[in-house]
Structure 1
Amino acid sequence: MTTGTTTKTGAGAAGPRALARQRRRQSAVRFWKRYRTHRAGLVGLVGLALFALVALTAPLTVGTDVSSVTGAPGRPMESPSAEFWLGTDRFGRDLLGLLVWGSRVSLLVGLLAAALSVAIGTTVGVTAGHFKGAYATVLMRITDWFLVMPTLVLAIALATVLPRSLGTVVLAIGVTSWPTTARLVRAQTLAVESRPYIERAKALGGGHWHVMSRHVLPNVMPLVLAQTTLMISSSVLAEATLAFLGVSDPTVLSWGGLLQDAREAGAVSSGNWWYLVPPGIAIAVVALAFTLCGRAVESVLNPRLGVGR
């Protein structure tokens, strides 16, 4: 009897978990079936996969000493050739190797800055939409202040005051680009909070944390996911801008840093296009790929938007 009871209890406990896992798998399958109908989204996804592969395999393909100034393999400012496909920089380093290695920093900073921005915006948006009253009013006025201030100017000011490092760049981008996410998430939270099941959850004794974590957050996560993919492209561009303006860590190799080096070396006036064009194209292609993926995700999660395929 005891064994039968135990087995029943175990099956009953495992049943809801198995059902939840099955539903998640079915949801993921439905998402992929809809996503792959968006040709632009697939192109962006393939591009991101290639860039991620290049960044992850950089230590194996170009080595770890590619940025070393001493012992550079070529002469300064060589044009593209069979030996150096993208030419060399002002120190004689292989620009192709620098471009490949710089992808690691640019993509990492873009991902971390976007994650920080979306995390702040989601927290502010959900809490402001749930609690309302004076708390929400104060948060929204702070959000409005950040919205009217130029994001790039705030990021430059913050990066100038703090020590130059990758952490500072991530912090500068993340804490200045969250207001748009906060506004979107708050609007979605207000829409979710007006539904009848939220009132039933509160009537049954559900506290603030229970309502926000179990009912509100799962319903705003699709919006957060779409916003994250769009924010990464903006973060990559912001990192490149900060590095180009010289407020990033000069010892760290990134695509924006390569553009800054090219400017300092006078590549524009001397006509050394191979120094400027490859990093600029890489930044533009990555930003475009993330944008295509973000638009496709947004269209799948909200078909009423009617985003073109």
Structure 2
Amino acid sequence: MTTEATPQDQAQAAKTSPRALTRQRRRHSAARFWKQYRSHRAGLFGLTALLLFALIALTAPLTIGSDVQSVTDAPGGPLESPSAEFPLGTDQFGRSLLGLVVWGSRVSLLVGLLAAVLSVAIGALIGITAGHFRGWYATVLMRITDWFLVMPTLVLAIALATVMSRSLSTIILAIGVTTWPTTARLVRAQTLAVESRPYIERAKALGGGHWHIMSRHVLPNVIPLVLAQTTLIISSAILAEATLAFLGLGDPTVVSWGGLLQDAREAGAVSSGKWWYLVPPGIAIAIVALAFTLCGRAVESVLNPRLGVAR
């Protein structure tokens, strides 16, 4: 005699299914991560600052409008000091610096994020494959990595940005392809540690191929390291973008924080004492870079508690 399963039994079976258990573990892991992250005051400060800047950048088209970049319809006079109408003053064309700084946050944050993602993707790919295959393949990759490590990153980025067209994609590419070696070294070391564990040998004995080992066993174990490295590289990428734009290698058609510093230098703001042209974009760059660094350090401490003990 057979009986049909009741809805309660089906719900209970769904809760105990492998997929449901996986989702439950992920929710518990996320909750545990957030609970530990909240204990880092510096990390919370950095996260709050980043959320504020992200909100400002996303709402810029609504609060500021794209016409703030227009040179012909500038509402003020050139290089006006801060006032009630222009809280941060104006640039050499009479445009509101407050609007330019807000609009420039979109470009600077976007370039920093995309360049960091490209850098981490290259470093993770090289690190995982070099740690998995080893032999002559790993030797060649690590020697190339060592060459990039000893070469000045900024010099390489300037060289690439010089020979290529002046655009945001060039800046992203120049930063991304010159800042990946540190990630590659860290990921390779983590890959070697993961592949020395017994369950990797069991997976190979059961017929697991190279792709299965790297994607199902190695990658999930290096993702926390990659995440922490990404938050740290974003701050460096934003500083690199500002440096390249300040040197005149950025896209002149878009507004960014580094581009504002370049415009201030060309307008003679340094020698004439027009501090309001230099200070706002410089402070914005410093705050965002510091915020990403604080978040990265907090993520590192959560993912690797031994760092907190060591410090």
Report the alpha carbon displacement of residue 2 of structure 1 after superposing the two structures with TM.
Answer: 12
2:284 pairs, out of 258, 282, 285, with 282
**Secondary structure, counterpart of 2:199 in structure 1:** helix
Is residue 63 from structure 1 mapped to residue 74 from structure 2 by the alignment? no
**Secondary structure, counterpart of 2:67 in structure 1:** coil
**Secondary structure, counterpart of 2:169 in structure 1:** helix
Mapped contact 1:296–1:307 kept (Cα < 8 A): no
Query: Deviations for 1:112-138, whole angstroms, at most 9, x for unmatched residues?
Result: 000000000000000000000000000
Output aligned runs, 1:1-309, within 5 Å. Answer: 15-306=17-308
Mapped contact 2:43–2:297 kept (Cα < 8 A): yes
1: CA distance, partners of 2:78 / 2:228 = 44
Residues 241, 218 of structure 1: alpha-carbon distance in 2 compared, 3 angstrom cutoff = same
Report the alpha carbon displacement of residue 252 of structure 1 after superposing the two structures with TM.
Answer: 1.0
Report the alpha carbon displacement of residue 64 of structure 1 after superposing the two structures with TM.
Answer: 1.0
One-letter code aligned to 2:281? P
1: CA distance, partners of 2:206 / 2:222 = 22
Report the alpha carbon displacement of residue 249 of structure 1 after superposing the two structures with TM.
Answer: 0.7
2: CA distance, partners of 1:137 / 1:3 = 62
Long gaps (5+) in structure 1: none
One-letter code aligned to 1:134? W
Mapped contact 2:242–2:258 kept (Cα < 8 A): yes
Mapped contact 2:14–2:20 kept (Cα < 8 A): no
2: CA distance, partners of 1:200 / 1:71 = 69
Question: RMSD over aligned Cα, in angstroms?
Answer: 1.8
Mapped contact 2:15–2:21 kept (Cα < 8 A): no
One-letter code aligned to 1:70? T
Mapped contact 2:89–2:97 kept (Cα < 8 A): yes
**Number of aligned positions between the proteins:** 306
What TM-score do you get using the length of structure 2 for normalisation?
A: 0.95
Query: Deviations for 1:3-45, whole angstroms, at most 9, x for unmatched residues?
Result: 87xx98xx57981111100000000000000000000000000
Report the alpha carbon displacement of residue 162 of structure 1 after superposing the two structures with TM.
Answer: 1.1
Query: Deviations for 1:232-265, whole angstroms, at most 9, x for unmatched residues?
Result: 0000000000000001111111000000000000
Mapped contact 2:232–2:296 kept (Cα < 8 A): yes
**Secondary structure, counterpart of 2:76 in structure 1:** coil
One-letter code aligned to 2:139? T
2: CA distance, partners of 1:238 / 1:245 = 11
Report the alpha carbon displacement of residue 71 of structure 1 after superposing the two structures with TM.
Answer: 1.5
2: CA distance, partners of 1:2 / 1:125 = 55
Long gaps (5+) in structure 2: none
**Secondary structure, counterpart of 1:76 in structure 2:** coil
2: CA distance, partners of 1:21 / 1:231 = 30
Query: Deviations for 1:131-186, whole angstroms, at most 9, x for unmatched residues?
Result: 00000000000000100111001101111111111111000000000000000000
What TM-score do you get using the length of structure 1 for normalisation?
A: 0.96
Mapped contact 1:88–1:275 kept (Cα < 8 A): yes
